[in-house]
Amino acid sequence: MADRWNYAFEGTSPTIHDDAHVSRDATLVGDVEVGRDASVWPGVVLRGDVAPVRVGAESAVGDNAVLHASEVGDRVMVGHGAVLNEAAVEDGALVGFNATVNSGVVVGEGSIVAAGTIFPEDLTVPAESFVRGVPARTTPLSETDVDAEEIFEAYHSGRYADLAERHEDLFDRS
C-alpha cells in the first residue's frame, strides 16, 4: 500500500486487519490498530504516539476525522470531521459530524452524539444516551423522541463497508 501514509513511531507501526478498508489518503501513525471490516475514509488521521488508537470491527471513521490516543469499539460510527482526543467510544455508539470528544471522555455503549457537540474533559456518558450541545448535555435515549434503531439502521457501519467495497480506487486492499 505504497500510497497510504503509514508511519512507525518509536518502533511501533500501524496494524490493519486484512478485511479492513483504509483509504490511501488516511494517515496512520504509531500504535494504531484497525479491526475487521472497519473503514477509515480519506483525510482521517489516526495518531497513536502517546497512547494507542484502536478502531474496532465493523466501525467507520468518516472523512477528515482525527483520533489521537483514542479507542472506538465495535460497530461505532465516527462522523466526518469529528475529533477524539484521549477518549473512548464504546460499542454501537455514533459520534456525529464535527463533534469534539475531549480528554478523558467515555461515550457509553449504544449512545448517540449529535453533530457539533463539544464535550468537557473527563465526562462519562452512560450507555444508551443522547448527547448534544456546547457544552455537551446528556439525556437517556428512553426520555427522548430520538429513534435510535432508525438512526443506527440508517448509518450502520455495514453500509459503509459495502460502500468501501465499491470504491476500488480509494481503498487499496493489496
Evaluate whether residue 153 is within a structural domain: yes
Q: What angle do CA 7, 51, 75 make, to 5 degrees?
A: 85
Give me the chain's average pLDDT, please: 91
Number of domains in the chain: 1
How confident is the model over 74-125, as pLDDT tens digits? Answer: 999 999 999 999 999 999 999 999 999 999 999 999 999 999 999 999 999 9
Evaluate whether residue 30 is within a structural domain: yes
Helix (H) or strand (E) holding 107: strand 106-107
How confident is the model over 20-47, as pLDDT tens digits? Answer: 999 999 999 999 999 999 999 999 999 9
Supply the CATH number for residue 53's domain.
2.160.10.10
Evaluate whether residue 69 is within a structural domain: yes
Evaluate whether residue 89 is within a structural domain: yes
Evaluate whether residue 171 is within a structural domain: no
Evaluate whether residue 135 is within a structural domain: yes
Band of pLDDT at residue 2, cut at 50, 70 and 90? very low
162 has a pLDDT exceeding 50 = yes
- Domain membership of residue 144 as a residue range: 5-166
Range 59-79 average pLDDT: 96
Range 48-52 average pLDDT: 97
Evaluate whether residue 137 is within a structural domain: yes
Evaluate whether residue 19 is within a structural domain: yes
- For residues 90-106, b (16+ Cβ closer than 10 Å) or e, as one string? bbbbbbbbbbbbbeebb
The pTM of the full predicted model, rounded to 2 decimals, is: 0.92
Q: Rg of the chain's alpha carbons, rounded to an integer?
A: 15
Amino acid at 49: D
